[in-house]
Chains A and B, each alone.
Chain A
Amino acid sequence: MDLDEAKEFKERCTQCAAVSWGLTDEGKYYCTSCHNVTEISKEVINTGDIPNTKIQAINRGLKRKRKLEKGWDWYVCEGFQCILCQQAEALKTLGVGPELKNEVLHNFWKRYLQKSKQAYCKNPIYTSRRKAVVLEENLSHSDWESEPELLSDFSFPFVESGAESQSDVNTQKSFPVIKASQSETASVCSGSLDGVEYSRRKEKGIVKMTMPRTLAFCYLSLLWQRETITLSDLLRFVEEDHIPYINSFQHFPEEMKLYGRDKGIFAIESWPDYEDIYKKTIEVATFLDLPRFPDITEDCYLHPNILCMKYLMEVNLPDEMHNLTCQVVKLTGIGEVDFLTFDPIAKMAKTVKYDVQAVAIIIVVLKLLFLLDDNLEWSLSNLAEKHNEKNKEDNPWFDFRKWYQVMKRTVDEKKQKWEEARAKYIWKSEKPVYHSSIDKSVVYKRREMVVSLQKQFSTLVDSTPTVGKKSPSSFQFSWSEEDTDRTCFHGHSLQGILKKKDQSLTTKNSLYWLSTQKFCKSYCKHVTTYEESNYSLSYQFILNLFSFLLRIKTSFLHEEVSLVEKKLFKTKYSKTKKKSSRSRKVRRY
């Protein structure tokens, strides 16, 4: 808000008669002493360059004065386009090739507009339906439909249901009228041309654009390009604000005004969730009717062999384990091109959760080596410790206990920092988004209050500069040979755990237990459940460690481990079914 710019306005305030004006972000005058916002707005002179050329292309350049605020006429899909553009730019700065934005994502988006009949088709919905909709809107607005809006600021916690779930006006409770003098257009409004209609639209067979789906688009393009960013990386970058998502509408061009129903569409108050985005990715790809994606071969980053290597490094496990993960990949067949490559047109479209799967393979290997029954891993550690004490010169044997101690400490620290950072996260945009014309001034005043309070308290914060925005990295931990707190185990050998058999090495441990005995076969879509207390502490620790790494639920990872085991022990599963034996332990090979 610029006080200087408001100097030329000299009228007295209608509420407090003061002459002290400021300009709101919308270019309206507001009284600095009583915060009364006028309807008079400063004439916007510079309608200059628009940073985004694509928006201009779709923008039909209409200028009508039907709205609360002066600005361009824009459509919801243009808003999403703008956000996708920002996200693509951000990905580019993260090092992704420029083709992702200009070719892949652009094409996906064009295809989406076409499939959803918004553009690039003979009869786009805007030209055909708009008039009818406007008419219908004016007629169908019975009182009760608009009331919740009138009162939304006082007693309805659920009106602003956000983009996660589309609020349906019809489900709102009816409410006695206090004042119905406000015109309906003022209460149900939106900055975009079709915001009101968009938030109501429910068409079968059409995948509606939402904020989480922007990330699905991003991930699809990354996958198409076979980039070195996994889904969990992408979502982590979103949470760390390296990729615009929350409040991304702040960076809309100045003239794209956003209010009313647009709030529910663009303002979002949750970080993306892995499972949700994963599902949406498949949904979008199917809707777009995309062809088979480029093959994921052994030299691709997303191939389990490479991802396993990456995660082994990340969690500080010996490089030698890679040998075993590769064997598991081979035995289970999850390294095959056909298995790994995403094919939306296939009968049962599903893509591999590359990162989760790679981690699950590592967990299976850990179980093969150490059994993780809260017993064997510790006795093997004792052996390793003794050996290492005696042979200080040699390459040390991998000591599970030591590794556990180092990891536990580091992860706990990291987790605490992460939780603190989340608690400090600033959700609200600098530009407040009001829900209806009635609460507009209140929302602005509230924002101003929050800003001034924040300003006051920021002077009381410890002056030592806190670590600023982390630079994006696909690694979250770093290990070094020297630092005893962060001992590096990459070079440690597995000698103590392996033994020679015939000509090859095999694990000393010959037992194994399955994470899931029986898979759920009903239609409820979950294959297994994870009840923490049923499992060994080591297994719990490892699940927690990896699920924190990927920011996913432990149960989700447990499920993936079970699925890998299912492939690895195919014969055992069929046998147990026949014998229906309850033994949890299965002899290996």
Chain B
Amino acid sequence: MSDFSGELTRPMAEADQVEKSMLSGTGMSIPWLRKQMETVETGGKKEKDFAKTTSACLGLIQEALLKHQWEKAAEYMHSYFQILEDSDAGKRQAAPEIIWRLGSEILYYHPKSNVETFSTFADRMKNIGVMNYLKSVLLLLQISLQHALYLLHHGMLEDANRSLSQAETWRYGEKSSSQDILINLVQAYKGLLQYYAWSKKKMELSKLDEEDYAYGTATQNMRSHSWKTSVNLSALIQIPGVWDPFVKSYVEMLEFYGDQDGAREVLTNYAYDEKFPSNPNAHVYLYNFLKREKAPKEKLISVLKILYQIVPSHKLMLEFHRILRNSDKEEHHKLGLEVLFAILDFAGCTKNITAWKYLAKYLKQILMGNHLAWVQDEWRSRKNWWPSFHFSYFWAKNDWTEDKALACEKALVAGILLGKGCRYFRYVSKQGHQGLKKKMKRMNRAVKSYSIVDP
């Protein structure tokens, strides 16, 4: 307890101190009591007009931002800066962050704003919180990061890099977890910038001849870049989170230098670690990597199975269906049918002609293989809503005018699932009777032989 009084002066540390002092029972200074006294004192006191008008001002700024009135917001901002001089220390300390958020938002969109004004503002705000402890470091990191992103957005990579490097140097006392994350992010963005430089070098390299004198130095250069980058990136992607661009570039570099195992480990960890939030892209990256590696089918299927559970409408699902269709196992065949039906459950996929074509073909194939039960399994849950969702008269007309091929595939599916009497089938076969006689005949025959509906 020797450093107790020193600790107390830091507002951030107060929460921990409350428990400590109560447990230790020194009885000399009781911070939680002091806190209560403070609230008691404010309770009886009239709020000053200064406080009233500044909070009204904040409200008006927010309203202006909401309505995209950047000029008006800037006008109120002009008055709101006074809060930095508030005599209430609590408000004064909270002010820089609020001002940064509002100000950067205004400068991001304001027609008269440019990179220069934004940078001036960011630099000013970085210098503002010199007095405050931990909080100001957090703010500094946030400002630098946002500033860097802004510069990136405007294509000023070098300046962004400078801003990030500067941010790296700020640290306060013992690390806190929120500080750590931000520092990791800063470093990761630096890594991303280095990756960009590396990637450019790679492009140049691909133009050079291997025999060339310059080739050697260029590869040397790239290596040093990649080493720095990997250091910067690897720390961040250990922390649970969604780090798609970072993971992607990291893996690309690992692969380039032949570290397949490293790359696989990163991707597997990113996809399968339960601490990470569920992220479809993680599985997509892993799948693409494994495909490049020519991994066995079993493995690919197991990855896509998870993706299928997260996003049944993902565009990789058609590929998944193909893999399953060509598999030797019967259970995979059944899953292949499931996957197709699941894709077409989504409104965004209703006009996907490939999906319909696959379904029409696959239904025939399955029924030929005497697996009527599989089809019935799938159809059971859908027969109530698919007819109006896919096979209504409206859709028949619509599909026919927009895409005849699609209409034909759908009509075939409709015929198989609902029988010849269904509206969609009837409409399409009637329309097709004139122009596409041959095709219609084939369709009719197919429906006759495969329809799951009892005649």
A residues lining the B interface (CB < 8 Å): 151-160, 162, 164-165, 171, 173, 176-178, 269-271, 419-420, 422-428, 432, 442-443, 446-447, 449-450, 452-454, 456-462, 466
Q: Complex: how many Å from CA A93 to CA B229?
A: 71
Task: Check A460 against B48 for contact (C-beta < 8 Å).
Answer: no
Are A427 and B113 CB-contacts (below 8 A) given A155-B9, A165-B45?
A: no
B residues lining the A interface (CB < 8 Å): 4-6, 8-9, 11, 29, 34, 37-38, 41-42, 45-46, 48-51, 53-54, 56-57, 59-60, 70-72, 74-79, 81-82, 84-85, 87-91, 99, 103, 106-107, 110, 112-113, 117, 120-121, 124, 127-128, 131
Task: Check A453 against B124 for contact (C-beta < 8 Å).
Answer: yes
**Residues of B close to A156: CB separation below 8 A:** 89
Are A461 and B82 CB-contacts (below 8 A) given A151-B9, A155-B89, A157-B87?
A: no
A-B contact list, 9 entries, CB within 8 Å:
A154-B131, A165-B45, A176-B9, A271-B49, A422-B53, A453-B84, A456-B120, A458-B78, A461-B74
Task: Check B79 against A424 for contact (C-beta < 8 Å).
Answer: yes
Partner of A269, one of B48, B72, B75, B121: B48
Are A447 and B85 CB-contacts (below 8 A) given A155-B9, A176-B8?
A: yes
Q: Complex: how many Å from CA A153 to CA B85?
A: 11
Task: Check A160 against B87 for contact (C-beta < 8 Å).
Answer: yes
Partner of A178, one of B5, B76, B91, B124: B5
Task: Check B46 against A164 for contact (C-beta < 8 Å).
Answer: yes
Task: Check B11 against A456 for contact (C-beta < 8 Å).
Answer: no
Are A454 and B78 CB-contacts (below 8 A) given A157-B89, A177-B5, A178-B5?
A: yes
Residue in chain B with minimal CB distance to A157:
B88
Partner of B121, one of A178, A428, A456: A456
**Residues of A close to B117: CB separation below 8 A:** 456, 460
**Residues of B close to A449: CB separation below 8 A:** 84, 124, 127-128
**Residues of A close to B6: CB separation below 8 A:** 178
Residue in chain A with minimal CB distance to B107:
A460
Residue in chain B with minimal CB distance to A427:
B50
Smallest CB-CB A-B distances: 10 pairs: A176-B5, A269-B50, A460-B74, A160-B87, A157-B88, A423-B57, A462-B71, A270-B49, A423-B56, A269-B48
Partner of B56, one of A419, A456, A459, A466: A419
Task: Check B48 against A461 for contact (C-beta < 8 Å).
Answer: no
Could you say which of A173, A270, A419, A456 has the most chain B C-beta atoms within 10 Å of its C-beta? A456
**Residues of B close to A151: CB separation below 8 A:** 9
**Residues of A close to B127: CB separation below 8 A:** 449
Task: Check A446 against B84 for contact (C-beta < 8 Å).
Answer: yes
Task: Check B11 against A155 for contact (C-beta < 8 Å).
Answer: yes
Are A158 and B41 CB-contacts (below 8 A) given A153-B89, A164-B46, A269-B50?
A: yes
Q: Complex: how many Å from CA A374 to CA B42?
A: 41
Could you say which of B4, B37, B56, B70 has the most chain A C-beta atoms within 10 Å of its C-beta? B56
Residue in chain B with minimal CB distance to A464:
B71
Task: Check B34 against A173 for contact (C-beta < 8 Å).
Answer: yes
Residue in chain B with minimal CB distance to A432:
B85
- Since A419-B56, A426-B82, A457-B77 are in contact, a sample of 15 more A-B pairs with Cβ atoms closer than 8 Å, ordered by chain A residue number, is A158-B38, A269-B87, A422-B53, A422-B56, A432-B85, A449-B128, A450-B85, A453-B81, A453-B124, A456-B117, A456-B124, A458-B78, A460-B74, A460-B113, A461-B78
Task: Check A176 against B106 for contact (C-beta < 8 Å).
Answer: no
Q: Complex: how many Å from CA A456 to CA B119?
A: 12
Shortest A438–chain B CB gap in Å is 11
Are A452 and B49 CB-contacts (below 8 A) given A154-B9, A176-B5, A460-B74?
A: no
**Residues of A close to B112: CB separation below 8 A:** 459-460
Q: Complex: how many Å from CA A507 to CA B87?
A: 57
Are A427 and B53 CB-contacts (below 8 A) given A178-B5, A456-B120?
A: yes
Could you say which of A154, A157, A446, A457 has the most chain B C-beta atoms within 10 Å of its C-beta? A457
Shortest A572–chain B CB gap in Å is 38
Q: Complex: how many Å from CA A447 to CA B92?
A: 13
Q: Complex: how many Å from CA A428 to CA B50?
A: 9
Could you say which of B37, B79, B117 has the most chain A C-beta atoms within 10 Å of its C-beta? B79
Shortest B233–chain A CB gap in Å is 36
Task: Check B89 against A154 for contact (C-beta < 8 Å).
Answer: yes
Shortest B260–chain A CB gap in Å is 52
**Residues of B close to A419: CB separation below 8 A:** 56
Q: Complex: how many Å from CA A375 to CA B411?
A: 69
Q: Complex: how many Å from CA A446 to CA B91?
A: 14
**Residues of B close to A460: CB separation below 8 A:** 70-71, 74, 106-107, 110, 112-113, 117
Residue in chain A with minimal CB distance to B6:
A178
Q: Complex: how many Å from CA A460 to CA B116?
A: 13
Could you say which of B5, B59, B75, B90 has the most chain A C-beta atoms within 10 Å of its C-beta? B75
**Residues of A close to B103: CB separation below 8 A:** 453, 457
**Residues of A close to B71: CB separation below 8 A:** 460-462
Q: Complex: how many Å from CA A565 to CA B148?
A: 69
Shortest B425–chain A CB gap in Å is 64
Shortest B245–chain A CB gap in Å is 33
Q: Complex: how many Å from CA A422 to CA B54?
A: 9
**Residues of B close to A154: CB separation below 8 A:** 9, 11, 89, 131
Q: Complex: how many Å from CA A446 to CA B85?
A: 7
Task: Check A442 against B48 for contact (C-beta < 8 Å).
Answer: no
Task: Check A461 against B75 for contact (C-beta < 8 Å).
Answer: yes
Are A270 and B50 CB-contacts (below 8 A) given A419-B56, A423-B79?
A: yes
Q: Complex: how many Å from CA A453 to CA B131?
A: 18
Residue in chain A with minimal CB distance to B58:
A423
Are A462 and B82 CB-contacts (below 8 A) given A160-B87, A178-B5, A269-B50?
A: no
Q: Complex: how many Å from CA A458 to CA B45?
A: 34
Q: Complex: how many Å from CA A177 to CA B4?
A: 11
Could you say which of A171, A419, A453 has the most chain B C-beta atoms within 10 Å of its C-beta? A453
Partner of A157, one of B49, B91, B113: B91
Could you say which of A156, A171, A423, A424 has the most chain B C-beta atoms within 10 Å of its C-beta? A423
Shortest A212–chain B CB gap in Å is 12
**Residues of A close to B42: CB separation below 8 A:** 157-158
**Residues of A close to B72: CB separation below 8 A:** 462
**Residues of B close to A442: CB separation below 8 A:** 131
Q: Complex: how many Å from CA A422 to CA B82?
A: 13
Residue in chain B with minimal CB distance to A429:
B85
**Residues of A close to B106: CB separation below 8 A:** 457, 460
Q: Complex: how many Å from CA A487 to CA B247?
A: 70
**Residues of B close to A152: CB separation below 8 A:** 89
**Residues of A close to B85: CB separation below 8 A:** 428, 432, 443, 446-447, 450
Q: Complex: how many Å from CA A66 to CA B6?
A: 32
Residue in chain A with minimal CB distance to B79:
A424
Q: Complex: how many Å from CA A155 to CA B88?
A: 8
Q: Complex: how many Å from CA A171 to CA B38?
A: 11
Q: Complex: how many Å from CA A395 to CA B362?
A: 89
Shortest B162–chain A CB gap in Å is 20
**Residues of A close to B9: CB separation below 8 A:** 151, 154-155, 176, 178
Residue in chain A with minimal CB distance to B91:
A157
Shortest B51–chain A CB gap in Å is 8
Residue in chain A with minimal CB distance to B14:
A155
Q: Complex: how many Å from CA A461 to CA B131?
A: 30
Q: Complex: how many Å from CA A424 to CA B56?
A: 9
Shortest A443–chain B CB gap in Å is 8
Q: Complex: how many Å from CA A476 to CA B81?
A: 30
Task: Check A457 against B60 for contact (C-beta < 8 Å).
Answer: no
Task: Check A428 against B82 for contact (C-beta < 8 Å).
Answer: yes
Residue in chain B with minimal CB distance to A442:
B131
Task: Check B56 against A457 for contact (C-beta < 8 Å).
Answer: no
